[in-house]
Structure 1
Amino acid sequence: MRQICKQRRMEAAVQGERKAMLVRISGRVQGVSFRIWTLEEAERLGLSGWVRNEADGSVKALIAGPETAVSAMLARFWKGPRGASVSGVVSESADPDQASAGFRITG
């Protein structure tokens, strides 16, 4: 167990600190390809996690990766794809281990 923790710390130091955020994006974000755009942007940044539509009309995403990439994605959420009109981006810290490898659309 100690060896695994030490290895993870060394990997984090090499790759930059790994961070995860659970994000809710509100506004006109459904029906404008927001999930596909999020998938493409997350892959460009090397993030893992997921994105899905919520019943209240918002989009929810879990993004995880190097701190700089997570910060860049949070900023990109404010713009969104063409046709989107983002009125809010609310994020909270999450456990990076909750994000599986790769990025996917879950709903």
Structure 2
Amino acid sequence: MVRYFLVKGRVQGVGFRWFVHREAAELGLRGWVRNTDEGHVEVVASGDPEVLDELKSAIKKGSRGSRVDAVIEQELDESEDEKLGPFVIEGAW
């Protein structure tokens, strides 16, 4: 299963992408996380539904110093998985 999350709140400049990366990698998920120009964070993750639910719970909780106001979730087509590799932070050095 492949899911897209749009995370709104104070999620840029507080280590949120690194937090999501760590959580997703520990869960063995594939995909990516990146900032948006609007000040949000986008996540695309692929894995078992139960494991994706664990990631969603972690995202809702947020990292230390962050504030998650909303998580918008959308299921993507399974074919999107073919484009994904090990979980990475896009746009990081």
Instruction: Tell me the TM-score normalized by structure 2.
Output: 0.90
How many residue pairs match? The answer is 89
Structure number having the greater helix percentage:
1
Larger-gyration structure (1/2): 1
- Partners of 2:10 and 2:41 in 1: CA distance: 10
TM-score, normalised by the number of residues in structure 1: 0.79
By how many angstroms is 1:101 displaced? Answer: 2.1
Note the C-alpha offset of 1:97.
3.6
Segment of structure 1 superposing worse, 54-63 or 87-96 = 87-96
Q: CA RMSD in A?
A: 1.0
Q: Does 1:88 align with 2:70?
A: yes
Distance 1:42 1:84 in 2: 17
The Cα of 1:75 is off from its aligned counterpart by 1.1
In structure 2, list runs of 5 or more residues that go unmatched.
none
State the SS of the aligned residue for 1:56.
Answer: coil
What do the CA deviations read for 1:19-41 (whole angstroms, capped 9, x no partner)?
11111000000001111111100
Instruction: Name the amino acid aligned to 1:39.
Output: H
Distance 2:48 2:22 in 1: 17
Distance 2:43 2:79 in 1: 15
Question: Structure 2: which amino acid aligns with 1:65?
Answer: G
Tell me the percent identity.
35
